[in-house]
């Protein structure tokens, strides 16, 4: 089993040599000054607090992923333009919580060719998510992935479903959050969780089954894995199930289209 | 990824030998000396070192760039190359010219410095390009002769064609036939006019009617797809839009970009720095500064309040209806100078929005048709 990925503050990055790191900072200039060349083990730089000046990052660390945390997508979405130039040299992703009114942030991120990571939690903004899902599935000018939709779709398309815990970097087995004081914590959404992080997800899933949660008979258990039942097991999954159904149907349709295309005269496969 | 690069539009002279009605430039008699060029290059290379930028493209324009001699450019080429090499930077050059002064004395220079390529302009019908006190017809005659000469010398001549009301009246078929079949121009881009610079009668009718422009563009695109696309004819912006909608790498024109302030800057022959050639001679309120009066080009750019307006523009446009547009990822509110010359502010969307939407939808549909397997084996090129 590979070692976990650590999300560490910039000040502590040097304490994790040889580890796969997501280095978070609100000060790009300090990052570049401290690490003129990013170590090969770094997976990503996570920008928090929407720093104004990102020019130091534009030509630094070519190819290193950058994750922009958009904590208030409704108020701050237009500020994403200040990061537009990063895409020249970095894969860029915007991580944002699912709240009412996030569609503008998602549209803008997608139009800037940023990938999007929706952090759904236990969402109430289902209609908004449905609109974003439609954007992801059908708008030709949305070239980058919108997760979790993208990974779930691909997983079903290729018959290799991936759990949301992994897609959303929240499985403590694979992802550890290091606080400013150096303490290792569960990923932020799992604040309040306890026990061995290595088997948190398994224990959670077992608990849901044992307590008779609707997960028992859920058609999407292979992907959800009880994700939407944390922290409140009584969360009504009807809305997110509908989204899963749409994704499943899209995967089936895509698989069927691909199979039909492969046998169509004139296709690249028909040679 | 594309981005270890800086683009600079450099006006070697503000003077021009033509007197086109719709010109947006405020033409002065200033020209760069080689010593002034050294100063500019030194400061730009320092900026590139500070930013970690490896390569530079100098887009030489004017006024009319060929008013300086081939020997001047040859010396410029050598001096720039030496300075860049000393700092580990690479520099490439492009030339934009009206070609009226082309002659055999330019052949070697264009081959060596500009990759044997020149970009020029040709309008059809030509109603506005002219020499001082002479008719557009006389301009056409000289231009045609010079371009033919350049082609005979093996130079690849690309063209920009600015549409006018007459173009819309003659229609896309005649326009395409004239440029491609009669003039042999097989690599050109169509541009929309805007009332830049000093007002005059020729600019009164601008912007052109969006619905007529949209119809013209879509018809022209269809003609190109039918007759030119598979024959190696390149017509911008249709070719790059096709790349967008067929999910290939695309290089869209500067009017459609996340923010042109991220991509390019211009310096004129007086040392004024502006967003591009559309701005740098004509809009003092949007000068970023003067490179000869600044110790640091980086500080000049970083401290410029007018430049901050360009950065702020897309942010402010997202408060309007652009955020809901399905083509936001292509357009981003369009061109700042087209907006400013019509609305007198940067913070509105491009007045040609309706044209762009129509054209984008048209090319999207064309791309969809091309992506479908064809029984006859016709493929995406």
Nearest to B4 among A59, A140, A141 (CB): A59
Site of tokens 């907006």: B339
* pLDDT for position B1: 38
**What is the per-residue pLDDT across B77-116, written as a single tens digit (0 to 9) for each?**
999 999 999 999 999 999 999 999 999 999 999 999 999 9
Query: Could you tell me if B202 lies within 8 Å of chain A, comparing CB atoms?
Result: no
| pLDDT for position B371 | 86
Cis peptide before B207 (omega within 30 of 0): yes
Looking at beta carbons, which residues of chain A come within 8 Å of B376?
Answer: 266
Contact criterion met (CB below 8 Å) for A244 and A225: no
At residue B80, the pLDDT reads 98
- The Cα A181–Cα A165 span in angstroms is 25
Q: Which residues contact A253 (CB under 8 A, 6 or more apart)?
A: none
pLDDT value of position B12: 98
pLDDT category of residue B366 using cuts at 50, 70 and 90: very high
- Interchain contact, A261 vs B314, CB within 8 Å: no
Chain A residue whose CA is closest to B257:
A112
**In this predicted model, what pLDDT tens digit does every residue of B105-122 receive, in sequence order?**
999 999 999 999 999 999
Q: Tell whether the model's pLDDT for residue A216 goes beyond 50.
A: yes
Contact A50/B at CB under 8 A? no
Contact A192, A172 (CB under 8 A): no
CB of B257 closer than 8 Å to CB of B332: yes
Residue B16 has pLDDT above 50, yes or no: yes
pLDDT in tens, B288-311: 999 999 999 999 999 999 999 999
Q: Do A84 and B377 touch (CB under 8 A)?
A: no
The pLDDT assigned to A270 comes to 46
Q: CA-CA distances (angstroms) from residue B216 to A104, A248, B149, B170, B190?
A: 33, 43, 31, 10, 11
Instruction: Supply the pLDDT for residue A271.
Output: 44
Asked if B319 and A84 come within 8 Å (Cβ–Cβ), the reply is no
Q: What is the ipTM of this complex?
A: 0.87
CB contact under 8 A, A81 and B258: yes
Q: Which residue in chain B has the smallest CA separation from A106? A: B323
Q: Work out the mean pLDDT of chain B and round it to a whole number.
A: 94
The arithmetic mean of pLDDT across residues B137-146, rounded, is: 95
A62 contacts in chain B (CB < 8 Å): 1, 4
Is any Cβ of chain A less than 8 angstroms from the Cβ of B321?
no
- Chain B hits for A138, CB-CB cut-off 8 Å, are none
**What integer pLDDT is reported at residue B354 of this predicted model?**
97
DSSP letter (8 states) at residue B178: I
Please give, one letter per residue, the 3-state secondary structure of B307-348. HHHHHHHHHHHCCCHHHHCCCHHHHCCCCHHHHHHHHCCCCC
**How large is the average pLDDT for residues A101-124?**
95
pLDDT at A191: 86
**What percentage of chain A carries pLDDT values higher than 90?**
86
Percent of chain A with pLDDT over 70: 97
Checking if the pLDDT of A155 tops 80, the result is: yes
- Write out chain A residues lying below 8 Å of B333, CB-based: none
């Amino acid at each position: 089993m590979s070692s976990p990925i650590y999300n560490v503050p910039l000040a502590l990055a040097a304490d994790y040599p040889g580890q796969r790191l997501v280095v978070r900072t609100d000060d790009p200039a300090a990052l570049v000054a401290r690490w003129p060349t990013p170590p090969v083990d770094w997976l990503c730089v996570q920008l928090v607090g929407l720093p104004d000046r990102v020019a130091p990052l534009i030509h630094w660390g070519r190819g290193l992923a950058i994750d922009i945390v958009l904590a208030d997508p409704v108020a701050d979405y237009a500020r994403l333009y200040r990061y537009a130039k990063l895409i020249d040299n970095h894969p860029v992703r915007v991580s944002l919580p699912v709240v009412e009114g996030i569609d503008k942030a998602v549209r803008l991120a997608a139009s800037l060719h940023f990938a999007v990571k929706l952090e759904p939690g236990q969402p109430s903004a289902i209609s908004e998510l449905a609109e974003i899902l439609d954007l992801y599935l059908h708008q030709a000018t949305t070239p980058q992935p919108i997760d979790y939709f993208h990974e779930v779709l691909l997983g079903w398309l290729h018959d290799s479903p991936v759990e949301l815990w992994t897609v959303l970097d929240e499985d403590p087995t694979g992802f550890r959050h290091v606080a400013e004081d150096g303490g290792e914590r569960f990923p932020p959404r799992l604040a309040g969780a306890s026990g061995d992080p290595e088997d948190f997800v398994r224990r959670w899933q077992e608990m849901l089954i044992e307590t008779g949660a609707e997960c028992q008979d859920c058609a999407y258990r292979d992907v959800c894995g009880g994700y939407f039942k944390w922290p409140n097991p009584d969360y009504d999954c009807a809305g997110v199930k509908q989204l899963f159904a749409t994704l499943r149907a899209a995967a089936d349709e895509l698989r069927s289209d691909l199979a039909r295309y492969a046998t169509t005269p004139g296709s690249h496969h028909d040679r | 990824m594309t981005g270890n690069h800086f683009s600079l539009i450099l006006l070697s002279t503000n003077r021009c030998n033509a007197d086109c009605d719709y010109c947006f430039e405020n033409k002065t008699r200033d020209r760069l000396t080689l010593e002034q060029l050294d100063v500019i290059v030194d400061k730009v290379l320092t900026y590139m070192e500070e930013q970690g930028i490896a390569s530079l493209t100098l887009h030489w324009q004017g006024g009319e760039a060929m008013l300086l001699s081939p020997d001047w450019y040859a010396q410029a080429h050598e001096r720039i190359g030496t300075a860049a090499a000393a700092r580990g930077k690479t520099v490439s050059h492009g030339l934009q010219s009206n070609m009226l002064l082309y002659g055999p004395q330019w052949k070697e220079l264009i081959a060596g410095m500009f990759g044997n390529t020149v970009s020029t302009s040709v309008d059809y019908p030509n109603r506005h390009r002219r020499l001082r006190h002479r008719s557009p017809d006389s301009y056409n005659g000289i231009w045609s002769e010079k371009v033919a000469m350049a082609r005979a010398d093996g130079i690849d001549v690309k063209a920009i064609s600015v549409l006018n009301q007459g173009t819309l009246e003659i229609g896309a078929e005649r326009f395409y036939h004239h440029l491609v079949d009669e003039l042999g121009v097989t690599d050109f881009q169509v541009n929309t006019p805007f009332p830049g610079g000093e007002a005059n009668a020729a600019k009164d009718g601008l912007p052109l009617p969006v619905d007529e422009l949209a119809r013209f563009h879509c018809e022209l695109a269809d003609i190109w797809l039918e007759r030119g696309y598979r024959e190696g004819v390149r017509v911008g912006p249709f070719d790059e839009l096709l790349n967008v909608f067929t999910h290939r790498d695309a290089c869209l024109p500067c009017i459609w970009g996340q923010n042109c302030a991220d991509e390019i800057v211009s310096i004129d022959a007086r040392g004024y720095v502006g967003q591009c050639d559309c701005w740098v001679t004509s809009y003092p309120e949007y000068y970023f500064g003067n490179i000869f009066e600044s110790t640091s080009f980086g500080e000049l750019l970083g401290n410029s309040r007018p430049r901050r307006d360009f950065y702020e523009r897309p942010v402010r446009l997202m408060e309007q209806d652009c955020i809901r547009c399905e083509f936001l990822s292509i357009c981003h509110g369009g061109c700042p100078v087209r907006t400013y010359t019509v609305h007198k502010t940067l913070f509105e969307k491009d007045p040609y929005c309706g044209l762009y939407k129509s054209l984008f939808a048209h090319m999207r549909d064309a791309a969809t048709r091309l992506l479908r397997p064809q029984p006859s084996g016709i493929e995406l090129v």
